Amino acid sequence: MGLVMRVPGSYSYTYTYSGTTGTTAPATTTTATTAPLVIATPTTVAPTDAISTVTGIDPNEVAAATFGKVIPIFCGGMPRMGGHIIFGPTFTTVAGITYASFGVSFGMPAVNLSINREIRELRLDGYKVWTLAEGSLMTGLTFRFYPGSEIQTPDPLVTAAYPAAPVAHKGHACVFIENLALTDFNLKVPFVSAVIADVELWEWDEDGALTSSVVDPADGINLGTALTQLAYSPYIDLASANAYSYGYRTTADFATEGISERVDALIVAEKVSFLDLLGRFARLHLWDIVQRDKLMAIERGSVAPDISLDLTDIVSAGDSPPILIERAPVSDMARELEYSFIDIARDYEINSYTARQMSVPAPSTRSEGKDTIALPVVHTIQEAASWVTLRLFKDDIARETLSFTTSIVGYEIEPGDVVAVDAGFKTYAIRVLESLKGANWTNRIRGEPILRCAPALVSDPDFTFVVFLLGPTGNDGGTTFIDEGTNNHTLTTNGNAQIDTGVVALEASALFDGTGDWIQAADSDDWTLAADNNDEYTVEAFVWFDSLGTVMTIACQRPAAGTAVAWHFQKAATDQIIWASASISAGGSGFDTILGSSAVLANTWYFVAVDKDSTGTIRLYVGTQASGFAAMVDSATPADSSIAATSDVLGIGARGAPGGDPLDGKIEELRITKGINRYGSDVGITIPTERFPRE
C-alpha cells in the first residue's frame, strides 16, 4: 500500500505512489510536522503567458475555460464530482516526456467545518487510477487532497509558483496533481473526477447547537438534513441566486419537520436561490413551506397530529351523517409529470422519469398538462420512479374532502392544523382547509386527507421513559446505528455488525455473524433499570437466531468475563430465552433472579420481552412473530428485585468488551423503557405489527 498521511498543519491528505501499473510499491515517507508538508522540491515552472511548445496548450486558456461558471455546492454521502482547474497547468519535460502539474476543484461542501472528508476514488479521463481500497492503479501518480475546510493551507505547488502570496483555496474540496506524465492522455491535461465521502455528519439540534457524528457515507443523507446544511451554508443566499453570501445560520431561522426520505447526495450546480430550490422540492413532495417563528419545510404526512378526534367528539345534525366525505371528479385533462435528477447509474448524468395520468374518460382529442421538476438530487431511477408515483398518489388522495362539526374539544382547530379523525370504519389524517366557529362552542371543519406513514399519527404516551431504542434504519450493509430513544446515546459498531434489509421482522434488522460483532453504548445511569423494589422497567426486542446450541446475547450490562454483573437478556446453550438480574443485596456478584422459556428454533423471528412492576414481580414473554402472541412463560417476585449498578457498557449482540457470548443472528426494535411496566400480564401480550413510535 502507498502512504496515507494526514498533515496536521495543512489538513491535507497526501497520497504518493510509484511502481508499475496494478502494483503498489513502498512510498517515500516524510515526517509530518505542524508546518505545511513539502514532499519534494516542485519541478514545475511558474505559469507564463506562453503556449507550451510541447503540448500546444495555453495554460491561461485552460484555466479560464470555466471562468464565470457556477461552482457546485454539495453535501452528503459519496457524490462523484467533476473537477475544474483552479491552478496551472504548468509543464516540464524530462527525457522527452512531458509532465503537467495542476490543481482542480470539485466544488464547495455545504459544511466547511469538517476535515473528516475522504477521497475514495480518483479518475483521469474516466479511467480509474486510484481507489482508497486498492491504492494506485497507475504508475507514478502523486496527488494531494484537501477536504474543503476553512483552515486548509496552500498546496506546495501554489507556494512554489507564488511564494509571495500563495492561495489556500479555502472552502474548495480539491486535488493537486504533481508531475503527471501526459503520455497516456494524448499530451493533454486529463479531465479529473473523484468520489468524495463525508464520513462526518454535521447537524443542528433544537437549541441551535452544532453537533457531529461519524457516519457511513454509503448510507447517504436524510433529505431534511441535507437541505438544512444548504440553508446554513456560508455559500448559499436565502432569497437570491447569488452564491457566497450568508444564508440562514441557526435553527432559529430554518428547520425541517417529518422529512424521512434519504438521498445519496445533493449537488447544486446552477444559479438558484435556496427558496426557489425549496419550492421545487415542495412541488414534488407536496411539503408545506410555512413561515412560523422560522421558515419550515414540513412533510404533511410525517408529523404528529395537532389533535385526534373520534365520533364522540363530532356533533351530528339531524339525519345528516356526522362526517360528510366528498370526492372530486377526475380531471378531464391528461397530466404528465417529468422529474429530472442526477442518475448514479448513468455516471452522474441528468436523467428523467415521466409518469402519465390519463384523463377519465379519455377523449380522442384532448389537452394535456405537463409539470416538469428538476432537482439536484443524486439517486437511482428506481428511487426517482417511487418519488413520482408517490406524488401522483398524493394528488389522487387530495381529491377527497371531509366536513364535520366538532364539539368544544375541537374549538381551537385552525386552518393548517393536522387532525386525526376516527370515522369508525377508517381513520383519516386531514389537513384543515377551513374552520368556522359556531354557537355552543362548535367548530365546522373542512379538510383534505393527507398521505401518512403508519407511525406518523401514533405516539407513545410513555416515550419520555424510553432510554434506548434501536431500529435500525438505513441501507443494506450500512454500519451506522442510531439510538432513537430520548437520550440518543452514541453507539459504537464492532466487527462486522451491519444493517440487514433482507431478513427482517418489520423494516430492517441489526445483523451479527457470531464472530466478534456487537454494538455498544457507554455506561450510563439509564442502564441501571431498578434502584429498588418499586422501580419499573421493560426490555423488549425482535430476535432471530441463525444457529443454536451456544450462549448468545441479545442485550446486557455485564462484562465479557467476571462475576460483576447487572442484568442480561440471552439465549442459553440449551436454547432457552433467559432473563437474569443481580440485586443490590447480592452486591452485583452473581445473578439471583433467573427466568427462562422453553427452547426456541433457528431461522424464526421471535418477540421477547421482560418487565417488572412496582410490586417487584418480573415477567418474561416469548412468542413467534408469526403467531402474533407472546405468552408469559415465567415470572418471579424476589425479595429484592432491584438491579445492582455497574460501570459496564450496554452490550447489544454480545456482552462487554471484547464481546463475550456473541449473537449469530439478528435484532430489531430493541427498546428499553425505564420507569414504566408496559405489560404486566400473567397471560401474554400481543406482538407489535409496526415499529415502535419515535415520539
What are the residues facing 446 on neighbouring strands? 403, 434
Secondary structure of 297-350 as H, E, C letters: EECHHHCCCCEEECHHHECCCCCCCCCEEEECCCCCCEEEEEEEEEEHHHCCEE
495 neighbors 518 (Cβ within 8 angstroms): yes
Q: Is the model's pLDDT at 481 over the cut of 50?
A: yes
Position 302 scores a pLDDT of 55
Q: Is 579 exposed, middle or buried (0-12, 13-18, 19+ CB in 10 A)?
A: buried
State residue 425's pLDDT score. Answer: 65
Report pLDDT for 270: 76
pTM of the model: 0.53
Q: Does residue 212 have a pLDDT over 80?
A: no
- The per-residue pLDDT for 457 is 42
Question: What is the band of 243 on the pLDDT scale with cuts at 50, 70, 90?
Answer: very low
* Burial class, 480, CB count within 10 angstroms (exposed 0-12 / middle 13-18 / buried 19+): buried
- Residue 592 DSSP class: -
Q: Are 400 and 325 in contact (CB under 8 A)?
A: yes
Chain segment 579-620, per-residue pLDDT in tens: 988 888 776 566 777 889 999 999 999 999 999 999 999 999
Judged by phi (left if over 0) then psi (alpha if -120 to 50, else beta), residue 179 lies in left
Place of cell 415477567: 619
DSSP assignment of 623-672, as one string? Answer: EEGGGTEEEEEEEE--S--------PPEEESSBTTTTBS--EEEEEEEEE
Which architecture does CATH list for 463-686? Answer: Sandwich (2.60)
Q: Taking the CA of residue 248 as centre, how many other CA atoms within 13 Å lie in the half-sphere pointing to its CB?
A: 22
Q: Are the beta carbons of 26 and 19 closer than 8 angstroms?
A: no
Predicted local confidence at residue 323, as pLDDT: 84
Cα–Cα distance, 689 to 7 (Å, whole number): 52
- Length of the chain (residues): 695
Taking residue 539's Cβ as centre, other Cβ atoms within 10 Å add up to 23
- DSSP-derived letter for residue 186 is T
**Cα gap 634→56, rounded to integer Å:** 85
Number of other CB atoms surrounding residue 293 within 10 Å: 8
Contact 154, 165 (CB under 8 A): no
Q: Distance (Å, rounded) from C-alpha 262 to C-alpha 264?
A: 7
> Quick one: DSSP state of residue 474?
S
Average pLDDT over residues 145-156: 88
Residue 333 or 225, more confident: 225
* Angle, CA of 366, 398 and 280, to the nearest 5°: 80
Collapsing DSSP to helix, strand or coil, 394 comes out as helix
Mean pLDDT of the chain: 78
Cβ–Cβ < 8 Å for 609, 621: yes
Q: How does pLDDT run across 28-38, given as a tens digit for each residue?
A: 222 222 233 23
The string of pLDDT tens digits covering residues 378-387 is: 877 777 777 7
Instruction: Return the closest-CA partner of residue 150 out of 78, 222, 233.
Output: 233
Per-residue model confidence as pLDDT tens digits over 428-440: 788 888 999 888 8
Reply yes or no on whether the pLDDT at 496 is more than 60: yes
Domain locations along the chain: 3-198, 200-298, 463-686
* pLDDT at residue 204, rounded to an integer: 66
Per-residue pLDDT at 106 exceeds 70: yes
CB-CB contact of 298 with 287 (8 Å) = yes
Q: What is the pLDDT of residues 566-577, one digit of tens each?
A: 898 999 999 999
